[in-house]
Structures are given as structure tokens and as C-alpha cells.
């Protein structure tokens, strides 16, 4: 089993180029202002790409929070299996830094489904799904569009509606996409690297909500800064794979129709959460 | 945030009964012969319900393996983030116990979509989904039916096709349902309790496959037995919620249309992996 899995990985890595392989110019830089670099105690680094185009007020808040050092003192206080990891201020008492808007508008969707791809089949939560030109998964109901709750997507924790949350508490999805949250909460980003530092944390048990029972269980962050505010020497640089080309279309087709030697039977379709836009460290 | 979440949980627990609440007789015993009780070092217990109706030869193998002590010496050797945890014999050298069929038939689907529920909308991998009378999620393409790869479902690791795997190595899903594996691998069960002992394990890094690089990282099981082979005093007893009644239908409807005070906007549909058949410890 191990031997053949590893053989398959080696074969994939050394095979001739496929029509679904990207060319070098398909990789586009992600602006440093869109990267939030969070570090848990023990130098476990998590890099989140923010989505200012889709949730501008919430993302402006998160940037202000970063600049004010809010994330340097945040903690993970909730790890709910097959659902979310949540972090921020578990005391619920810290005043928001100046300039942070306490009650942002409900940035849950927007009018344009401007995807440059469209998956062959849809899912129970939308009438179409695809990829944006700027490297995000999108869903639509034919009227409005939104970022779907897929694994590693980051949302803004909030109180009961009509609260939308300030951005001072965030969560990342660590289970099967809880798509019923789509359009009910603001999605503001995606974990590009280090999701395993969140998804492998011990689960909380309190309230059936995955909250840590004791504050001693909280997992503290030691730093949280925009990449653009870090010295160039330690600044992580990421790229997304552009979706507006025949190679990306071939990649989707390949994902929708997996082939031998491992697969016998292609599905003919794929869930948007299983074809998330590829990203990589800039070479 | 925490305060209102906890308040909501208390409210839910103390509210008047809903049409979607089960009555006591909706809970049906799961036979002890269907429960595989696996214990990781440190007394971390995982209870798996086997699916003999759907994969009889593979499940017969797994039972023989349990009786022969195979699982007492198994190890977790692969933890692939947003995909699977896999365990069994990482040496690939142990002989299979007598009576275990090395090459079972491809028990990937069967002719009857005998679901007693049907979800309002479908997903990219099937034309309909629902719940069986005996407490399993089901998917169909209109011709055959199968158990879908949802979070915590258990499958049989295999080599390249046409291998189907003996059952000596198993995996559990710990991420967004990799439904492209449906009908390409035998699903043999579901983790009913203790999935967090698998999903929170440190991720492996080898081969891009989540394999542990060093054998010292392997996480050993100390026991694995059918509940029916355990003394009654320590035998875990589980029940599933019967799906063939109006209360279950109301529960699905509620899941498809989440309501205030937390939700603003119902989806109108739900993914089968987000309405897995409820189970509980027998009272």
C-alpha cells in the first residue's frame, strides 16, 4: 500500500507535462497587503490570504487590528471537530483599537458572479460554482455571488444576527464544508499555509461547541502581522494559479474525471471545495 | 461571542420539543457484531460501526482480523490533512490471518437505492442522496447505490486498481468529503465516537501523502475487538436514529432551512455529508 502510493507520487512528479499543468506565467503574485501572517506559540506559522474585494470593511478592520497588535495577544479558544477552529479575544472584554468599525455591514454576497470557470455540476447550496480571475472559489444562486465555506476558508465569528462581527474573532473551517453558513457570515480569507497547525489542535469539549473548558487550554498567538508590515527578509511570498486559461480548464476536467491507475470510475463532476485554487510559495 | 453561543446552546437544550425531535422509539440498537472498538495508546477509544450489508466480504475480513488480534498490533502511519487518517500494517509484511480473503470483490456499489429519505437537492457526485432504514447515508446515480465518502466514513486502503484491499489497512475521512473516491474504494463503516483521536493527530509530511516520515511517529493501537467479543461490562452500546418517520423528515427540512436567531438565510438544500444519521450511546 505504502510502496505503491509512494511509487504513484514519484511517477506523478516525474511524468511528462500534461495539458492540465500550469505554465510559469500562470502563477500570479498575491499582494503582501493581502497576507496575514499569524504565529502560534512554538513558531507554528499560519498564512491567511485576505479577500478585500469581497469583504472590504471587514478586511479593513482586520488590517487595523493587525497594525494595532491585536493578533499578537489573540488565542485559539475553540476547536470544534468537523467544523471550525476559532480565535480572537476569549475574554470578550478587550476594547477594539481605534478606527475598527464595531458593526460592519453584512458583506455576505455581491451582485457579480464573475467567475472565469464553471464546474460541470452544481451542489445543494448554489446553482453554479467556479473560480474568480483573482484566485478565489465562487458560488452563485443566479442572482448574487459569494465565497463558499470550504475547508480552510476563514470567516468572521459573530453574535446572533443581525451582528456581523468586527473581525476581532475569526474562524477557519476544519471539516466538511459547512455551506449552510454561506451568506450568513462574512468570509474574509483562506488559510494558504499552516492549516495543520489549527486542524490538529486538541478538540474542545464545552457546550457541544468545541470550546476549551479551561483558559489554560487556550493556544496563544505570539504574533499576527500583514506580510507588508514585515521586513522583506522574513516576508512570505505566495502566488495563486490563474484560472482564465485552457490549462486550468483541463485541470478541472481532470479533477472531474479521475483516471487510472488509481481510479476506475470518473465522477463526471466535482465539488468546488475539492477544486480549490492552487497556491504556492513564490519561487 | 462565547456568551451568546453558550446561551444559544442552553436555549436549544431547554426549549420545548420540536417536530424534528426524535421520540424514544426512534432510537434503534446497533448490533454488537457491527461495532469495532479500537483503542490507541493512552486509552483513546474509537468506535466504528461496520457496514456488513454493503460490503459483506470486506467486513467479514475485518471481523476475522479482529478475532485474530490483527488490530491489537496495528498503527496509524498516515495523517493527510483535509483527507484521511490511515492505519494497519505499515511494514506491509505481516501475513494475513487464516480465513482472510486477500482479494475481495469490488464491493463499491449495489443495485438498490433503498433510501427512506431523499434530500431536496443533489450534489456533483450523484443524482440523489438520502438515508437508509438502517442508519446509513446513501447516494445513487439512478442505477446503483453506494455509501458516500463523508467525514468519519471508513474505507479500505488498497493498491492500484484492480486491487480492492483486504481490509487489513483502513482509513477514515478527516476533511471535506473526497467524494471522487466513491465507487472507487470499498466503504466499510463509519466512526461513531472518537474521531477526534484520529483527526487531531499530527500530520505526516512524506511524499505529499501525509505519511509519517519516521516509524517512531507511528501511533500504535493497543487493542481492536468487536464489541460482541468484549465482556458485557465494558461493551459500548450505540443506537442510530431511525429515518423512516415524519420527525426525521422534519429534521432534514430544518437542516435544509436553518432559522433565526443565528441564521438569516436558509440554504434550501443540504449536502448528505452535513446530515449524517444521528447516533448516540444507548441510555
Chain B contacts of A205, Cβ < 8 Å? none
Burial of B23 (0-12, 13-18, 19+ CB in 10 A): exposed
Q: Which domain holds residue B163?
A: 27-91+98-275
ipTM: 0.97
- The CA angle A276-A280-A281, to the nearest 5 degrees, is 150
Q: Is A47 a member of any domain?
A: yes
Give the whole-angstrom CA distance, residue A183 versus residue A186: 7
The answer to whether A82 contacts chain B (CB < 8 Å) is yes
Give the whole-angstrom CA distance, residue B24 versus residue B21: 10
Q: Is B3 a member of any domain?
A: no
Q: Is B19 a member of any domain?
A: no
**B271 contacts A177? CB cut-off 8 A:** yes
Q: What is the pLDDT along chain B (283 residues), one digit of tens a residue?
A: 677 777 777 777 778 889 999 999 999 999 999 999 999 999 999 999 999 999 999 999 999 999 999 999 999 999 999 999 999 999 999 999 999 999 999 999 999 999 999 999 999 999 999 999 999 999 999 999 999 999 999 999 999 988 999 999 999 999 999 999 999 999 999 999 999 999 999 999 998 999 999 999 999 999 999 999 999 999 999 999 999 999 999 999 999 999 999 999 999 999 999 999 999 999 9
Chain A contacts of B88, Cβ < 8 Å? 1
Q: Is A16 a member of any domain?
A: no
Q: What is the DSSP string of B230-254?
A: S-GGG---EEEE--SSHHHHHHHHH
How many separate domains does chain A show? Answer: 1
The answer to whether A15 contacts chain B (CB < 8 Å) is no
Q: What is the DSSP string of A36-60?
A: EEEEETTTEEEEEEE-TTTSHHHHH
| Chain center to CA of A244 | 20
Burial of A140 (0-12, 13-18, 19+ CB in 10 A): buried
Interface probe for B, chosen from A74, A82, A266 (most Cβ of B below 10 Å), is A82
Supply the CATH number for residue A181's domain.
2.40.100.10
**A177 contacts B209? CB cut-off 8 A:** no
Q: Is A9 a member of any domain?
A: no
The answer to whether A124 contacts chain B (CB < 8 Å) is yes
Give the whole-angstrom CA distance, residue B52 versus residue B186: 11
The answer to whether B127 contacts chain A (CB < 8 Å) is no
Give the whole-angstrom CA distance, residue B210 versus residue B204: 4
The answer to whether B183 contacts chain A (CB < 8 Å) is yes
Q: Which helix (H) or strand (E) holds A173?
A: strand A170-173
Chain A contacts of B184, Cβ < 8 Å? 258, 262-265
Q: Is B11 a member of any domain?
A: no
Q: Looking at the partner chain, which of B92, B180, B206 has a beta carbon nearest the beta carbon of A267?
A: B180
**B196 contacts A203? CB cut-off 8 A:** yes
Amino acid at each position: 500500500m505504502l510502496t505503491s502510493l509512494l511509487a504513484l507520487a514519484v511517477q506523478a512528479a516525474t511524468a511528462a507535462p500534461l495539458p492540465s499543468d500550469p505554465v510559469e506565467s500562470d502563477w500570479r503574485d498575491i499582494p503582501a497587503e493581502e497576507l496575514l501572517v499569524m504565529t502560534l506559540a512554538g513558531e507554528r506559522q499560519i498564512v491567511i490570504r485576505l479577500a478585500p474585494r469581497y469583504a472590504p470593511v471587514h478586511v479593513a478592520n482586520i488590517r487595523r487590528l493587525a497594525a494595532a497588535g491585536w493578533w499578537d495577544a489573540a488565542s485559539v479558544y475553540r476547536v470544534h471537530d468537523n467544523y471550525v477552529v476559532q480565535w480572537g479575544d476569549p475574554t470578550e472584554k478587550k476594547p477594539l483599537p481605534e478606527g475598527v468599525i464595531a458593526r460592519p455591514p453584512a458583506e455576505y454576497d455581491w451582485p457579480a458572479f464573475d467567475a472565469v470557470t464553471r464546474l460541470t455540476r452544481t451542489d445543494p447550496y448554489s446553482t453554479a460554482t467556479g473560480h474568480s480571475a483573482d484566485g478565489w472559489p465562487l458560488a452563485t444562486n443566479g442572482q448574487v455571488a459569494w465565497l463558499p465555506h470550504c475547508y480552510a476558508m476563514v470567516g468572521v465569528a459573530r453574535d446572533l444576527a443581525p451582528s456581523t462581527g468586527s473581525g476581532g474573532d475569526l474562524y477557519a473551517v476544519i471539516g466538511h464544508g459547512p455551506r449552510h453558513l454561506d451568506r450568513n457570515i462574512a468570509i474574509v480569507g483562506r488559510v494558504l499555509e499552516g492549516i495543520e497547525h489549527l486542524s490538529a489542535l486538541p478538540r474542545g469539549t464545552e457546550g457541544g461547541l468545541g470550546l476549551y473548558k479551561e483558559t489554560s487550554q487556550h493556544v496563544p498567538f505570539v504574533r499576527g502581522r500583514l506580510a507588508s508590515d514585515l521586513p522583506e527578509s522574513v516576508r512570505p511570498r505566495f502566488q495563486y494559479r490563474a484560472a482564465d486559461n485552457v490549462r486550468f480548464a483541463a485541470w478541472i476536467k481532470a479533477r472531474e474525471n479521475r483516471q487510472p491507475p488509481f481510479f476506475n470510475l470518473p465522477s463526471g463532476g466535482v465539488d468546488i471545495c475539492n477544486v480549490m485554487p492552487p497556491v504556492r510559495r513564490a519561487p
